[in-house]
Amino acid sequence: SLSRRASLRRPRAAMAPPPPAEGREAPPPLQYSLLLQYLVGERRQPRAWDPTALGGIPSPPKSEEQKMMERVMESCAFKAALACVGGFVLGGAFGVFTAGIDTNVGFDPKDPYRTPTAKEVLKDMGQRGISYAKNFAIVGAMFSCTECLVESHRGKSDWKNSVISGCITGGAIGFR
């Protein structure tokens, strides 16, 4: 029983590296720091990600019409027009919504107890919707144009372009 406890406390011989055979040199010890430099350190070389190497779906080459459509859709004019239309639609919806929940629609200060007619409410909703739509369209077009110009000037497409163009657009609106 005592010899068994003593053997449990001693390191096992199986954990130690085996002694070199006669006539052979001992292999150099594995240095984890060198291995880590190749795996996660400065010497790591990232592999290029190629979806076709992983069995991705091969795509046929693009035709000239497809290339032309891509150029049109990536142009500054198309992006500005799309932002203008999107801003107009969103602003119109927002204006109609805010006019619908506004309690002062059709309010007459001369007769505060008069209930506005449906025609007056709809007229105010339309006016406010058009007003918001024009403002949102202008802001959308300004932001899109400045973002495209900043991206062209910097030669990069990253989050900084949006921040810079937002500052320029906000400054131009505030300057007015």
pLDDT digits (tens, 9 = 90+) for 120-149: 888 888 999 999 999 999 999 999 999 999
Digit-coded pLDDT (tens) for 9-46: 555 544 555 666 676 776 666 676 777 777 777 777 77
- HSE-up of residue 79 (Cα within 13 Å, Cβ side): 14
Digit-coded pLDDT (tens) for 74-91: 899 999 999 999 999 999
Q: What is the rounded CA–CA span in Å between residue 16 and residue 24?
A: 18
Residue with tokens 């369209």: 137
Q: What is the rounded CA–CA span in Å between residue 142 and residue 100?
A: 28
The helix or strand, by DSSP H or E, that contains position 124, with its residue range, turns out to be: helix 118-154
Q: How far is CA 168 from CA 106, 112, 162, in A?
A: 38, 44, 10
Q: What is the rounded CA–CA span in Å between residue 53 and residue 175?
A: 54
Average pLDDT value for residue range 66-73: 93
Q: Report the predicted TM-score, pTM, of the whole model to 2 decimal places.
A: 0.60
Residue 126: closest CA among 164, 85, 96: 96
By mean pLDDT, which of 26-40, 62-76, 159-173 is the weakest? 26-40
Residue 17: closest CA among 9, 7, 27: 27
Which position has the higher pLDDT, 166 or 114?
Answer: 166
User: What pLDDT score was predicted for residue 56?
Assistant: 64
Average pLDDT, the chain: 81
Average pLDDT value for residue range 59-76: 90
Rg of the chain over CA atoms, in angstroms?
Answer: 35
pLDDT tops 60 at residue 8? no
Query: Considering Cα of 95, then 97, then 98, then 100, what sign does the dihedral take?
Result: positive
